[in-house]
Structure formats: C-alpha cells, structure tokens
A and B are shown apart, each in its own frame.
Chain A
Amino acid sequence: MSSNAFGLIYTGEANAQLRELTFSRSVAAVPFGGRYRAVDFVLSNMVNSGISSVGLIAQRNYHSLMDHLGSGKEWDLHRKRDGLFILPPFVTKDNTGVYRGTVDAIRSVLGFVRRNTQRYVVLTGSHTIYNTDFDAMIRRHIETGADITIMYSDESGNDFDRSEQYDDLRLKVDESGRVTELTFNPLNPGTPFTGCDAYVMDKTLLEYLVEDAAAHGEFDFMQGVLIKNQQKFKFYGWKYDGYVARLNSVMQFYRHNMNLLKPEVAADLFNPDHPVYTKVKDEVPAKYVGSGCARNSIIADGCIIEGEVENSIIFRGVYIGKGSRIKNSIIMQASVINQNCDLDYMVLDKGCQVLGGRRLAGYDSYPMILRKGVVV
C-alpha cells in the first residue's frame, strides 16, 4: 500500500563521542549488527510503511553513505515515480554549502519537500535504530489532529548518563498523549520519555516552521522549532514500545550491538515481518573450518572462521585464523585476524589487520577501537 507520506532523513549529526567510528563516515553509515549500517533501519522502516519517496540529507563525510545507498535499489527505492533522493549540500546565494544545523539543512531541500505530492512528512535523524513501520504513528497523528507527532520511548529501564547525552529530547505527556513539556538535553530529565528523533507533520507546516525558524536566526530543529514552539502548536507523543538503540557514544554503539546477542532484542530488531534491507555484497555463506567455532555470536556471510569466537559480532567477509580467540568483540567487514591472536573487548573497524600472535584487549567499560584499516 502506498502511503500518503514521504520520508526525510537528516544524516548530518556530528557527535564527537562516536570517536573513530565517524572519522571517515557519517553516523548514518556506522556499521551495525553484522551486516547493516545505522541508516538501513530507518530507511527500511519507511519502505515497510509503504513510503516510496525518501529524501536523504547528506551533510558531512557522505561518500561512504552514497557508496552504501547507490541508486536505492536494495531498498526498492530505485523508481521511476518517486524513489530515493540523496540531497548533498550545495552552494547558492543564500546557502553557504555547510549547514549550521538541521533547520538550515531542511530549508535548503525545501524544493524536494514541495515537489512531493504526499501530504505528510516523516522526518527522522539517522543515529537512532529501531524496527517498526510508521503506519500506526501516521494514523495516530491524523486521529489526534496534532500539528506534530513525536515518536518517543520509555527509557526508565536504562540509567541516565549525562556524559552520553546527545540531542536528548525529553517529553512530558498528559493522558491523551498531548505533550505538556519538552526539554532539550536537560540536566535532570524528570521524565523517562525520550524522543526517538522521528516526527510526523503536514509538509506545509514543515515548510512554514523552518522558514520561520531561519527568519528568527534559529538553526536547530529541536531547539529552534520544537522547544520554541511548544506553547504555540499542538504536539502529541507516539510511544514506541520496541527496542530503541541510540548510537550516542562508542559505549552505546558497543552495548547495542552486544544486545543483539539477546534473543528478544534480535527478534525485535530483526523482526521478519519488517525485513531490514541493506546493500547486497554477494558473499558466500560463512565457513567454519577445522576447529573453528562460535558461541553466542552473530556471524555474517563471507566469513572464514578457523579460530574460536565467543560473545561477538562478526561482520561480512572477516577472516579469523587458527588458534585465535575472539571474545566480547565487534569485528567489522573484511578485517583479518591471523593465527593465535587474542582479542577481548575490541572494536575493529573495517579492513583492520591483526598479525599473528597479537593480544589486544579493552575493558568492559571501555572497549578499544582500531580505526578503519589499521594494521597491528
């Protein structure tokens, strides 16, 4: 079923806490779950909601993202009518090319917004991972007559850590679901309801809001549009009860990846009713050789496992040599671990190489990262 909404994904989040993971890529392109990139989830959510037109605002380090998305055919967004539109920054008389914030970015792609024939826009960021379709949220938006509907999750089960706070939008809602108070990066949140960086609104309202915010010198959507206008407009919350992974820091990245080893989290994020699409690499099935084995681990296709793997996430095309032991680690695509290595609490970015006999270890509370392409 085609939807009366189009998607707009902002991928310009600049979060220094992701350290080496975002040196050469945007958050949207951060690898996740053995074969995915962060943006695959929100993009698949849109496709699984029948959304056929998606604009993706590229901002920084977007080569890796463009390489990943290509024409959008893996998401079935390679279309004659609608499809995937990658919207990189460009210089015009009132646009310097570098966006100062989300408002700036959305304003520069208003041409795309206007051209869409659908009435509603689903506006999202790219660092929040969840698997749902937006149908229920859009329905709720129409029923309540809200100006903006904000997707949120209840984070009371997770400890609040101020050092990991990033674009933290907190909501208080009344019984009808109407938002009574919105706060941004609060010192003391006072509510466990946390925004999921996904909004539904009428596209004409979005046009008005970003123009208005820009006219008042505001650059950021959360602060300049949502917080500023909370008295003026009718905001409703839409509570999402599934698993939500916010990639706010290296620690969060590590924890959410590891949580995939829990069957209930894997069942939620990899719900077969909502398949998660990603770039197809035509790798061969994973091959276990000799005494190669794996326990409590996720192993992607294209891997050759000759060593032992435990409590780890192994991405596509990784080689693990004989006698090597990999524990509590995340090994990204095409990394090579030679023979007799010991790795514990390590995050290896793409294409790393660990020579024979090396021992590398981080710690539970501080997994070490090897940045892309490092040889140890």
Chain B
Amino acid sequence: MLGKKIVAMLLAGGQGSRLGELTKSMAKPAVPFGGKYRIIDFPLSNCVNSGIDTVGVLTQYEPLALNAYLGSGQAWDLDRMNGGVFVLPPYVSQQSGEWYSGTANAIYQNLPFIEQYDPDYVLILSGDHIYKMDYSKMLEIHVAKGADATIAVLNVPIEEAHRFGIMNTDDSGRIIEFEEKPTEPKSTKASMGIYIFNREVLTRYLVDDTRSVSSEHDFGKNVIPAMINGGQKVYAWEFTGYWRDVGTIASLWEANMDLLGVTPPFDLNEKEWRIYSRSPVMPPHYMGSDAEVENSLITEGCVVHGCVRRSVLFAGVTVEPGAVIEDSVIMPHTVIRAGAVIKKAIIGENVLIGEGALVGCEKLPEDEPYDTKLTGDITLVANSMEIAGGARVPAGKVIRFDPENRAE
C-alpha cells in the first residue's frame, strides 16, 4: 500500500448525554445540523478540503445511524482506491478485546489501522464541533516549527477560560503548561481538541499511556501533559474562525441560528470551502401561495404553506397552512399540522405536531413541574414522537421518546 503523509482519526464515540433525547439512538456526530448536514459533515469536509483522504472514524455508541450515513464515503469524495473513510468500532483480538476506555485508548487500539498507511503525521479530530478549518495550514506550521505535536487553540474570553483546557505558551508558541479547566486561568488559549502528532512520537506516548494504570487514557488529561513534561516540542496553533462545541441543547440551537442573516456569524455559502453531506434525493422546496418566510434556511423536500420565521427547516419538512414556526430548528421529515405554533424549539426527525398544538408556549402555573437543566428555555421534542392536536408543550420541556406516542 502506498504511504500517506497524514491520516486523520475522528473521535466520534461521544454519547453526548447533554444533548439528551437527540442522542438517544445515535452518536452525537450523527445529530442533524444546519438544514441538510450532520455534525460529522464538518470535520469530514474539512479533511477533504484540506487534502486529507484517509479518515478513521472511531465510534462505539449507537454506531448504526453513523455507519449508515457514512456508507462508502462517496458523498465526501472519500470512496478511494487507497484510503477513504473507515468506521472503526472496538474489536476483540486473540490477546484481548475491550471497549474504548478513553480518547487515547481508542487511538491506541487502532494503531494497526494507522500503520497500514505508514503516515508521517496523525491528525486527531473530534466529531462534535462545527467549524471550517484548513488542516493543511496547521500541518505546514507543525512541520515548519519542527514540532512533535501541535494543538489548535482558540482565544476565548478570559471569564470563560475556566471551562476549557488552557494552554500556556512561551513567545514562540511552544506550550509550557497545560491546565485542564483552571480556576485561575493564565491564558485564554483554549484547546479545540484538534491535534497533529508526529506518528512515531504519538505511538511511543500511546504505548506508555496504556501501560500506566493511573491514566484515564485521555488526550487532554494524560497524553498531552505527558508530552509536555517529557520535553517534547508541543506547539499551539491559533485558529481565528468560527468554532462551536455543539454539545448542549443551547449551543446546538445557537449554532443553527448563527447561520441566518445577511452576514451570518457562520457562513456556509463559501464556494471554496463546501460542506459535503449525503443528499436526501428530494425535489426543491415549495412555498405555497400563502406562505410567509423571514430570515430562514429551507431545504429540499420541504413544503411550506404556513409561516416560518428565523428558523432552520431540514429536508422534507411539511408546514401546513396557518402553522407558525419561530426561532426553531425542525429536523428532517417532520410534519407540522395546520394552526400549530412552535416557538424556540428543537423538533426531532419524523415528528408529527398535531393540529393547533402549541410547542414552546408560556408555562402556566397549573403545568406539572419539569426539569429544564438540559434545555433552559428551549423546548425539545424527541425523534419520531407525535404531539396530539391542541396539546400544549410549555417552554423548556422535553418530550421524551415514548413508543406509545410514536408518529405513524
């Protein structure tokens, strides 16, 4: 097999428990985003646009949706003779066999996959971030600096720095200290969970890490600090574009809203950095004679007779006459019946919202109490659920999956 300069390993294992009902039957990277994408389309498209044609996708949680979605990789131009995209679940071998016990362990277990391509460099990515990044530029700097490892960092506001892994660097950009969620941050350079390693250094540290019983086998917590302490040359590479961790309901909603407007915070319309995705094979969307729309994204297969404001509609959504959708994200193939009103909500796939139902309406004193820890004021309806006609779903409530009320 011909050697590769660089191989990407995409950590897609995350259950994404803070996304609650959305990740009940699929891994976080398979969650729909931005009208026709899934989260994983972003790192995958970044790879292809950066000239990386070999990507391993490491997953162990609900891999079916992800596996079916990736298929042969054709949608991302990753159906290659030499290389391409591979889903890498944990496996049992003669000596051992175990689940991935951490991000570093997942890569360790797949070192044979990497070795097949004999790459000089390994790029480690997360499958739950929304951003556009040219990894080839990061690699250029990595090579120019003669680094052993390079970590992409983002400048975050100092008051938020305590939520991130913070890199303290010297003047040359070399990382001298790494602090995971420091109470008193010394810098605002937050790790984005994107690493380039020299393969030989990575292999050595992963083997050592596996032997260590005290290690949690995590890149941020164990491997990176070990490299810094071991005197390896670890550099920070600063990224200045849009980047969002869409690990929570609020951040997922916000990132969708960031796509709207004349000059949106995150612009998908750049022709030179297309985001690829699996095409839904549906006709263009149809706007009825009485349809109203304002600042929204609407995808192929939608039929809109009602009113859509500041919202993102995924493929095949139907909005019947008189229905009103505001500040919401409606995932594929969901049907909104006549007169229903949806405000500030995320509605899952294949949901049926009955006639005149009110989703995200004001909470009344007689409403049963419910937990809004995960949702805040955003209402969430799980995939495949049916909301009965005329029903009220107050703001911030979660309608969990329940086979009794499945939409036909």
Chain A contact residues, CB within 8 Å of chain B: 33-35, 73, 261, 266, 270, 272, 275-277, 280, 282, 284-302, 304, 306, 309, 314-316
- Complex interface residues of chain B between 263 and 313 (CB less than 8 A to chain A): 268-269, 274-277, 279, 281-300, 312-313
Q: What's the interface size class on B, roughly?
A: 35 or more
Q: Which of A34, A276, A284, A297 contacts B275 (CB 8 A)?
A: A284
Check B269 against A299 for contact (C-beta < 8 Å).
Answer: no
Check A277 against B281 for contact (C-beta < 8 Å).
Answer: yes
Q: Does B68 contact A (CB under 8 A)?
A: no
Task: Tell me the nearest residue of chain A to B314, going by C-beta.
Answer: A285
Q: Does B396 contact A (CB under 8 A)?
A: no
Check A73 against B269 for contact (C-beta < 8 Å).
Answer: no
Q: Does B36 contact A (CB under 8 A)?
A: yes
Min CB gap A156→B, angstroms: 28
The proximity string for B residues 139-181 relative to A, scoring 1 for CB distances below 8 Å and 0 otherwise, is 0000000000000000000000000000000000000000000
Pull 5 A–B residue pairs with CB atoms less than 8 Å apart, ordered by A: A284-B35, A284-B297, A296-B287, A298-B286, A316-B284
Check A296 against B288 for contact (C-beta < 8 Å).
Answer: yes
Check B279 against A280 for contact (C-beta < 8 Å).
Answer: yes
- Contact residues in A for B295 (Cβ distance below 8 Å): 288-290
Check A301 against B300 for contact (C-beta < 8 Å).
Answer: yes
Q: Which of A272, A289, A293, A296 contacts B292 (CB 8 A)?
A: A293
Check A301 against B288 for contact (C-beta < 8 Å).
Answer: no
Task: Tell me the nearest residue of chain A to B74, going by C-beta.
Answer: A73
Q: Does B364 contact A (CB under 8 A)?
A: no
What is the bound-complex CA distance between A276 and B259, given in angstroms? 29
Q: State the majority secondary structure of interface residues on B.
A: loop
- Contact residues in A for B313 (Cβ distance below 8 Å): 285
Task: Tell me the nearest residue of chain B to A303, going by C-beta.
Answer: B284
Task: Tell me the nearest residue of chain B to A295, going by C-beta.
Answer: B289
Check B284 against A300 for contact (C-beta < 8 Å).
Answer: yes
What is the bound-complex CA distance between A304 and B279, given in angstroms? 19
10 closest residue pairs by CB, A with B? A285-B35, A34-B284, A300-B284, A285-B299, A294-B287, A270-B283, A284-B268, A285-B297, A280-B279, A296-B289
Q: Does B262 contact A (CB under 8 A)?
A: yes
Chain B contact residues, CB within 8 Å of chain A: 34-36, 74-75, 259-262, 268-269, 274-277, 279, 281-300, 312-313
Check B287 against A297 for contact (C-beta < 8 Å).
Answer: yes
- Contact residues in B for A282 (Cβ distance below 8 Å): 274-277, 279
Min CB gap B90→A, angstroms: 32
- Contact residues in A for B285 (Cβ distance below 8 Å): 286, 298-300
4 more CB-based (< 8 A) A-B contacts, given A270-B283, A280-B279, A296-B289: A282-B274, A285-B313, A293-B294, A299-B287
Task: Tell me the nearest residue of chain B to A293, going by C-beta.
Answer: B293
What is the bound-complex CA distance between A306 and B290, given in angstroms? 18
What is the bound-complex CA distance between A35 and B280, given in angstroms? 13
What is the bound-complex CA distance between A282 and B272, given in angstroms? 12
- Contact residues in A for B292 (Cβ distance below 8 Å): 293
What is the bound-complex CA distance between A296 and B268, given in angstroms? 26
With contact pairs A73-B74, A277-B281, A284-B35 given, residues A289 and B288 touching in the complex (Cβ less than 8 Å): no
Max count, chain A CB within 10 A of own CB: residue among B281, B287, B294: B287
What is the bound-complex CA distance between A182 and B151, given in angstroms? 75
- Contact residues in A for B34 (Cβ distance below 8 Å): 284-285
Check B275 against A295 for contact (C-beta < 8 Å).
Answer: no
Min CB gap B92→A, angstroms: 32
What is the bound-complex CA distance between A282 and B45, given in angstroms? 11
Check A266 against B294 for contact (C-beta < 8 Å).
Answer: no
What is the bound-complex CA distance between A295 and B321, given in angstroms? 13
What is the bound-complex CA distance between A285 and B293, given in angstroms? 14
- Contact residues in A for B260 (Cβ distance below 8 Å): 287
Check B298 against A299 for contact (C-beta < 8 Å).
Answer: yes
- Contact residues in B for A304 (Cβ distance below 8 Å): 269
What is the bound-complex CA distance between A331 and B90, given in angstroms? 51
- Contact residues in A for B259 (Cβ distance below 8 Å): 287
- Contact residues in A for B291 (Cβ distance below 8 Å): 293-295
With contact pairs A282-B276, A301-B284 given, residues A287 and B269 touching in the complex (Cβ less than 8 Å): yes
Max count, chain A CB within 10 A of own CB: residue among B259, B261, B286: B286
Check A266 against B299 for contact (C-beta < 8 Å).
Answer: no
Check B298 against A284 for contact (C-beta < 8 Å).
Answer: no
Check B275 against A33 for contact (C-beta < 8 Å).
Answer: no
With contact pairs A35-B300, A282-B277, A284-B36 given, residues A266 and B293 touching in the complex (Cβ less than 8 Å): no
Check A34 against B269 for contact (C-beta < 8 Å).
Answer: no
What is the bound-complex CA distance between A16 and B177, given in angstroms? 74
Task: Tell me the nearest residue of chain B to A291, going by C-beta.
Answer: B294
Task: Tell me the nearest residue of chain B to A36, going by C-beta.
Answer: B283
Task: Tell me the nearest residue of chain A to B298, going by C-beta.
Answer: A286
Check A285 against B298 for contact (C-beta < 8 Å).
Answer: yes
Check A298 against B284 for contact (C-beta < 8 Å).
Answer: yes
- Contact residues in B for A289 (Cβ distance below 8 Å): 261-262, 295
With contact pairs A275-B281, A284-B35 given, residues A301 and B74 touching in the complex (Cβ less than 8 Å): no
- Contact residues in B for A272 (Cβ distance below 8 Å): 282
Min CB gap A288→B, angstroms: 5
Task: Tell me the nearest residue of chain A to B262, going by C-beta.
Answer: A289
